[in-house]
Amino acid sequence: MNMRQRVVWLVWSGVVSAVVLIGLGVCVGSTGFEDLLSPLLNPQVDPVQTAVAQQIVWEIRLPRTLGAWTAGALLGLAGAVAQGLFRNPLADPYLLGSASGASLGVAMALAAMGGGAGMLGSSVSDSANLVVSVFSSSLWVRVGLTGAAFCGALLAVLLTLALSRGVGHTLRLLLAGVVVGVVLGAMTHLVLLMSPDSLQAMQAFILGSTAFVGWTSTLLMAGVWCLCFVAAWLLARVLDGLSLGDATAISLGLPVAAMRGTLVAVLALATGTAVAQTGLIAFVGLAAPHLVRSLVNTTYGNLMLLASLAGGTLLMAADILARGLIAPQELPVGVLTAVLGGGYLLWLMHRGPNRVAGANP
Amino acid sequence: MSVANHVAMQATAISANLGSVEVLHSINLSLAKGRWTSIVGPNGAGKSTLLKVLAGVLPHSGDVTLLDQAMHQLPKRVRARQLAWLGQNETSADDLSVWDVAMLGRLPHQAWLAGPSAQDQVAVEQALRSTQAWEWRDRALGQLSGGERQRVLLARALAVQAQVLLMDEPLANLDPPHQADWLDIVHALVAQGTTVVSVLHEVNMALHADAVVVMAGGRVHHHGPAGEPHTHRLVEQVFEDRIAIRQLDNQWVALPRRRMWLTKPMSPHNIARDL
């Protein structure tokens, strides 16, 4: 099988596994696996059960499952862009400080709303004390927290860019991202210290969850993914050229500085959107491009598509596992992705030293 | 025909810094069209920096013209079609296949969203075959040895099919047969009218060129025909007379000269006396 055939085969594998997982995802809930597809496909057997199944699938599980895919696809795409932009296989989408910026935004919003509390994903409000959760389904809380996370991510990336004086110097950009990450992380802790009621709600954001992703979030993420994917795909050749070094890319006539700026914007938008909807989901952005690279060596144009498919599939699979593993309890999906993604990267590292380290043979 | 028509590249009053240190000091250089010029000199002479300035990939003061056009006024893609550059110790795309890496050389010829044309495919195949890298076209660059990788990167530069080809240490990691192949490639390019400029540490190979530029301390000390005794004398001088250039089988070769105190028997008495 040549490279092109392998890429086509992997695209189809990604699509088929996504469809299978969507089918599985709508059937896994707090009671474990329940077959909702049969009543949906045979409505004449029991119309009441069909109506219930329809409501569960359409209003809860389908948007959640598709939301997990789109969040994973955004992180996979952002991971591929980050690794190409920084020419570092260990780069992840959170490198420019977007994660810590989003955390600070959410922490400040929670503190401003009077402190968050309650269970993961709950949205409880009583007359005495406003109680919110980071994954509340209440529209205004949702909009407020999402907006705060997105603004935080965006401001953090802009701060990183300002500190690194543009995108021209990769190492300076990386160091500025680390500095911004550490400082904003410390500020988040300070906000939480001053508003201890937010701590539990904040924890849910830090662990990451797809539990309360609805149609609005899913459609928003899908739209942003389309936009980011098209922009990144149009610039994929720049990343191919950059993989031979800045000087070679410039000698090939590529407008490196302008294109790098656009790719940073794509990275910030994709990461900020995913983080704002689902919290800090670990390792998907790092593991998805690696998973693709371990299967095929290809150009960035193909890598972006395949890493999106892989990221979507990984997060959707992790989400289903998070729901079903210890049902009726639910694991935060970020914990699962951290354990599975970390284990996978370790396995990859020990399987072949050249894969992750990118060292010479 | 005017003198300008014989010049492929002209550098005037070039100065360049690496960090805060000026490493090129007001260099003037004229490179002949359709000839092979080798730049030689000791470590830190500024050879690679000069080549980067000529390639337009390093900020500098002074003017550079490429084929009678001011380089800074040329559109990027036009310049990239006319001038190809092979760098030294550049990062390499371990995950890209050999074919994809060589195809990057055709980027200046391709419209933004267009795929490779039949002409691009032919150019890449020709370049990979000329460096004997064709057989690995489906392998990832990261799976190749240093010498094999260098042959792929050379093919990438050749695939541009530019009128001017600048190469910085193109023989790095190449074994003797492939060094000889590289000589054949350069002679073939020059025969087709291509201007080749190479920075070489292998003085023996550099002396095969039409002209030699001798550099030291960020300045050009000499620019003359490779076969001239005066050129040889200046090459020996910039290497502190640690090499001697002699003729052997109608080729100029640089022989190493050993330090006198190291040629004496290594007895403790001799070492103590010399120290």
What's the pLDDT at B268? 58
- Max mean pLDDT among A258-262, A329-333, B211-215 falls in B211-215
Average pLDDT, chain B: 89
Task: Report the CATH number that the domain containing residue B169 is assigned in CATH.
Answer: 3.40.50.300
Whether chain A has a CB inside 8 Å of the CB on B90: the answer is yes
Kindly determine whether residue A360 and residue B156, on different chains, have CB atoms separated by under 8 Å. no
Which pLDDT score is estimated for B48?
94
Whole-complex ipTM: 0.87
Report whether pLDDT(A294) > 90: no
- CB-based contact B104 A293, cutoff 8 Å: no
Q: Are the C-beta atoms of B127 and B146 separated by less than 8 Å?
A: no
Q: Which residue, A268, A124, A134, is CA-closest to A209?
A: A134
Residues 6+ apart with CB under 8 A from A132: A110, A113, A114, A116, A118, A123, A125, A138, A141, A145, A201
Q: Tell me the pLDDT tens digit for each residue of A61-117.
A: 889 999 999 999 999 999 999 888 887 777 888 888 888 898 899 889 888 877 554
Give me the CATH number covering residue A327. 1.10.3470.10
Q: Which two tokens stand for residue A309?
A: 């498919």
* pLDDT at residue number B231: 95
- Give A246's contacts in chain B (Cβ within 8 Å): 57
Chain A, nearest residue to B97 by Cα:
A297
Do residues A309 and A225 lie in contact, with contact meaning Cβ atoms separated by under 8 Å?
no
C-beta atoms of A240 and B104 within 8 A? yes
- Of residues B248 and B91, more confidence is placed in B248
pLDDT, one tens digit per residue, over B14-27 is 999 988 899 999 99
Q: What is the pLDDT of residues A173-202, one digit of tens each?
A: 888 999 999 999 999 999 988 888 888 778
Region B207-230 average pLDDT: 94
Chain A residues in contact with B52 by the CB 8 A cut-off are 247
Question: Is B264 within a domain?
Answer: no
Question: What pLDDT is recorded for position B1?
Answer: 41
Q: Quote the pLDDT of residue B65.
A: 95
pLDDT tens profile A341-356: 888 878 877 775 444 4
- Angle at CA A254, nearest 5°, toward A248 and A259? 115
Most A CBs within 10 Å, among B71, B88, B104, to test the A interface: B104
For A302, nearest residue in chain B (alpha carbons) = B96
Which tens digit of pLDDT belongs to each residue from B262-272?
555 555 565 55
Strand A32-33 vs strand B69-70: parallel, antiparallel, or unpaired? unpaired
Q: Do B143 and A360 touch (CB under 8 A)?
A: no
- In this prediction, residue B169 has a pLDDT band, given cuts at 50, 70 and 90, of very high
Tens-digit pLDDT profile for residues A11-65: 999 999 998 888 887 777 777 777 777 777 777 777 777 877 777 888 888 899 9
Nearest to A2 among B56, B138, B142 (CB): B138
Q: Would you say residue B273 lies in a domain?
A: no
The residue with greater pLDDT, B206 or A153, is: B206
What mean pLDDT comes out for the span B214-221? 94
Give the chain A residue nearest B52 (alpha carbons). A247
Contact with chain A for residue B32, Cβ under 8 A: no
| Percent of chain B residues topping a pLDDT of 90 | 72
Q: Is-contact A356 A346, C-beta < 8 A? A: no
Contacts of A298 in chain B (CB under 8 A): 95-97, 100
Res A139 pLDDT > 70: no
Mutate to test the interface with B, among A86, A90, A251 (most CBs of B within 10 A): A251
Q: Is the peptide bond before B75 cis (omega within 30 degrees of 0)?
A: no
CB pairs under 8 A between A and B: 96
Q: Which residues of A touch B105 (CB under 8 A)?
A: 252
Whether B110 is covered by a domain: the verdict is yes
With CB atoms and an 8 Å threshold, state whether B76 touches A255: yes
3-state secondary structure of A331: coil
B246 within some domain: no
Q: Is B146 on the interface with A (CB under 8 A)?
A: yes
pLDDT band at residue B62 using 50, 70 and 90 as cut-offs:
very high
Question: Looking at beta carbons, which residues of chain B come within 8 Å of A297?
Answer: 95-97, 140, 142
Residue A361 pLDDT: 34
B111 in A contact zone (CB under 8 Å): no
Answer whether B147 touches A (CB < 8 Å). Answer: no
The predicted model gives A248-266 an average pLDDT of: 88
Among A85, A86, A170, A244, the strongest candidate for a mutation testing the B interface, having the largest count of B CBs within 10 A, is A244
Average pLDDT of span B239-262: 85
Tally of structural domains, chain A: 1
> pLDDT (tens digit, 9 = 90+) per residue, A209-247?
887 788 888 998 999 999 999 999 999 988 898 888 889
- The number of C-alpha atoms within 13 Å of A162 and in the hemisphere containing its C-beta is 7
The whole-angstrom separation of Cα B131 and Cα B148 is 9
Name the residue facing B91 among A245, A253, A354 (closest C-beta): A245
Report the interhelical angle of A333-351 vs A300-324 (nearest 10°): 130
Put simply, whether A146 touches B (Cβ < 8 Å) is: no
User: Quick one: average pLDDT of B99-125?
Assistant: 91
Q: What is the mean pLDDT of residues B216-222?
A: 94
* Shortest CA gap A306–chain B (Å): 14
Q: Is B104 on the interface with A (CB under 8 A)?
A: yes
Which domain does B140 fall in, by range? 3-241
Inter-chain contact B56–A250, Cβ cutoff 8 Å? yes
Residue A127 has pLDDT above 50, yes or no: no
- Is A241 strand, coil or helix? helix
Q: Give residue A120's pLDDT band: very low, low, confident or very high (50, 70, 90).
A: very low
pLDDT over 90 at B126, yes or no: yes
How far from each other are the two terminal CA atoms of chain A, in whole angstroms?
24
Q: Which residues in chain A touch residue B90, judged by CB atoms under 8 angstroms apart?
A: 244-245, 247-248
pLDDT of residue A124: 38
B268 in a domain, yes or no?
A: no
pLDDT at residue A206 tops 60? yes
Chain A residue with minimal CA distance to B79? A253
Min Cα distance B225 → chain A (Å) is 29
Q: How many CB atoms lie within 10 A of CB B232?
A: 23
Q: Which domain holds residue A13?
A: 3-357
Mean pLDDT of B221-248: 93
User: In the prediction, which pLDDT does A119 show?
Assistant: 33
| Residue B261 falls inside a structural domain | no
Q: Which of residues 242-261 of A touch B (CB under 8 A)?
A: 243-248, 250-255
